[in-house]
Amino acid sequence: MSEPNATKKTLHIDPYERNWMRISIILVIVFAAAVTIAGFALGFQVPSPEERVDPNNLTGPWENPGLRELSPGVYDLYIIGHATTWQFDPREVEIPVNSTVTFYVTSRDIQHGFKLQDTNINMQILPGHVSKLTHTFDRVGEYPYICTEYCGVGHAAMFGSLTVVEK
């Protein structure tokens, strides 16, 4: 008597396809690990969409952008990007060493970028939105900030400088 036909119920997966499925799963694990390490070990932060503002009518602290000292060594810094003059307002900022600065950056017109050299501050700047990140400056020196999103003919001229000085 012959064996009854054993019907295999498992789904057939081609070995080639199976390998690509394995590679995909490994990639997802690698990317998740990279995000975790960047966030917890390297201190990468995602700029928080702090609030919405009217780019045609910037009021409150935006009427007079720049530094606000909240307490000794703790500052808020308001910066506005313009594409009409391709400038950051203010263009120069000075703070004492070991200060903690919270950056609030917005645009008066179109999309810009804001990257502060040698720090984790790197944000997209959109009209109508305020991007916010915080950094503590424990090293004296000059930290240039530049626009990192192409915004027109004056894009390359759109920069400023934050100087950290001895107390």
8 A C-beta contact, residue 116 and residue 143: yes
User: What is the distance between the alpha carbons of residues 162 and 165, in angstroms, rounded to a whole number?
Assistant: 10
Count residues binding ligand CUA (CB under 6 A): 8
Scan residues 85-144 and list those touching ligand CUA (CB under 6 A): 112
From 130, 139, 163, select the one nearest 60 (Cα to Cα): 130
142: tokens are: 């000059």
Which of residues 104, 106, 149, 160 is near ligand CUA by CB under 6 A?
149
158 binds ligand CUA per the rule CB under 6 A: yes
Comparison of 75 and 104: residue with beta carbon closer to ligand CUA = 104
- What phi and psi values does residue 122 have, to the nearest 5 degrees? -160, 105
Which of residues 101, 151, 162, 164 is near ligand CUA by CB under 6 A?
151
53: tokens are: 């503002």
Scan residues 32-91 and list those touching ligand CUA (CB under 6 A): 81
Which of residues 97, 100, 155, 159 is near ligand CUA by CB under 6 A?
155
From residue 26, give the alpha-carbon distance in Å to each of 12, 19, 35, 87. 22, 11, 14, 44
The amino acid at residue 75 is: Y
> Closest approach of Cβ 127 to ligand CUA, in Å?
11
> Closest approach of Cβ 150 to ligand CUA, in Å?
6
- Considering only the stretches 4-12, 35-43, 47-55, 146-154, report the one whose residues sit in contact with ligand CUA under the rule CB under 6 A: 146-154
> Closest approach of Cβ 158 to ligand CUA, in Å?
4
Q: What is the DSSP letter of 67?
A: E
Q: Going by C-beta distance under 8 Å and a sequence separation of 6 or more, which residues neighbour residue 69? A: 75
Partners of residue 165 on adjacent β-strands: 96
Comparison of 90 and 96: residue with beta carbon closer to ligand CUA = 90
List residues binding ligand CUA (CB under 6 A). 81, 112, 147, 149-151, 155, 158
